[in-house]
Amino acid sequence: MSRRERFGGALAVAPAGAAIALLFAGAVLGAVEASVLPIPGEGLSQATLDAWRNVFRDPALGDAIRFSVQTTLMATLISAALAVPAALALRDHGPAVRSIFSAPVPVPYLVISAVATLWLAGGGLLERALGFLPFDVVRDQAGLGIALVYVYHEVPFLTLLILASLGTELSQREEAAAVLGASWRQRLAWVVWPVIRLPMLVGTLGVGAFVFGSFEVPLTVGPTYPETLSTLADDKLSGSAFDGRAQAAALLVLVTAITVAITFALVWLGMRRTRRA
């Protein structure tokens, strides 16, 4: 690649890159500023870390972190575990079957939450049909309802990602492995898994980040306590504390920092693995 082509590439990315960087960096800086200035519009000389101290002293923070991590792990692991067999089952089928399967992908989360409430809440349609509710899903303390909404939405999404990575070449390699006497487990571990690993990792990271910062889904199907970090921030914002807005901003800066740290860690791991390979 010539120097001119490289420069041209950087120049081509500039409009979108600058817009994203300006808006995103502005958002992060704005949130940091809001977290240290309890009264908006005051000069930086009035900056204080009181809101941060209050956030870290609040016992709800530990519960919110635990609950956010718990729902994230549940939703992400279940989605990934279901997406792999779904992709393997769908790979020999045409666009019609794949389209039907991927129908929930464009559906907004709030609509799925509404459907979950209608069917699975106490007094909902499932309880009316069965005469009893086998388990609490909506507003349950374990966050099953939150996880279920995300699983419903993200299994088709992850399946599509995995399907995109499964080409005809893979089937030929699998056939070759079968001819050589490899069992289906061995073919899955040695032939299929290395191919789907990267899209799975990328997709799972995206899903995990989405669930970790989830806001509207826990507001509709989550319990009142414990809360996720984002809904705890919303509570602080609408609460009566003097520095409520600063505390909310501090919590959201914390969520942002965790998400950014995980993203960078995974990128670093991916780059290290590529270099080794």
Partner 1 sequence: MREPSRALRAAVAAAVVLYVLPLVALVVRAFADEWRAPNLVPQQFGLRGVDALFSTTTRAGEALVQSLSVALLTTAIAVPIAWTAARAIGERRLRRPIPVFVLIALPILVPGYATGIGLSEWFVRLDLADTRTGLVLAHLTVVLPYVVLVLAAGFGPKVSELEEMGRSAGLAPWQRLGWVTLPAVRAQLAVACVIGFLVSWGQYGLSLAVGAGEPTLPGVLLPFLRRDQQIAAAVCLVYLAPAAVALLLAARASRSPL
Cβ closest to partner 1, residue 134 vs residue 181: 134
CB of 149 to partner 1, least distance (A): 12
Question: Which of 174, 196, 173 is closest to 81 using CA atoms?
Answer: 196
CA dist., res. 28 & res. 125, Å (int): 43
Residue placing its CB nearer to partner 1 in the complex, 5 or 169: 5
Residue 226 backbone dihedrals phi, psi, to 5 degrees: -70, 165
How far apart are alpha carbons 146 and 132 in whole angstroms? Answer: 21
CA distance 29 to 173: 50
Minimum distance from residue 34 beta carbon to partner 1 (Å): 5
Side chain identity at residue 78, one-letter code:
I
Identify whether the C-beta of residue 88 lies closer than 8 Å to the C-beta of residue 159. Answer: no
For residue 267, the minimal CB distance to partner 1 (Å) is 6
Q: How big is the chain by its Cα radius of gyration, in Å?
A: 23
CB-nearer residue toward partner 1: 74 or 253: 253
Q: Closest approach of Cβ 30 to partner 1, in Å?
A: 4
Q: Which residues of 238-272 are buried (b: 16+ CB within 10 A; e: fewer)?
A: eeeeebbbbbbbbbbbbbbebbeeeeeeeeeeeee
**Rounded Cα–Cα distance for residues 74 and 223 (Å):** 16
Q: Which is nearer to partner 1, 224 or 240 (CB)?
A: 224
Q: How far is the CB of 177 from partner 1 (least distance, A)?
A: 24
Specify the residue, 33 or 177, whose C-beta has the smaller distance to partner 1.
33
Considering the complex, state which of residue 67 and residue 210 has its C-beta at the smaller distance from partner 1.
Answer: 210
Tell me how far, at minimum, the Cβ of 179 lies from partner 1, in Å: 25
Quote the CA–CA distance of 175 and 94 in Å, as a whole number. Answer: 20
Residue 211 identity (one-letter amino acid): V
Which is closer to partner 1, CB of 26 or CB of 85? Answer: 26
d(CA 116, CA 126) in angstroms, rounded, equals 10
Give dist(CA 208, CA 71) in Å, integer. Answer: 9
Least distance (Å) between residue 100 CB and partner 1: 5
Residues in the chain: 277
Report the residue number, 92 or 169, with the smaller CB distance to partner 1: 92
How far apart are CB 58 and partner 1 at their closest, in Å?
A: 18
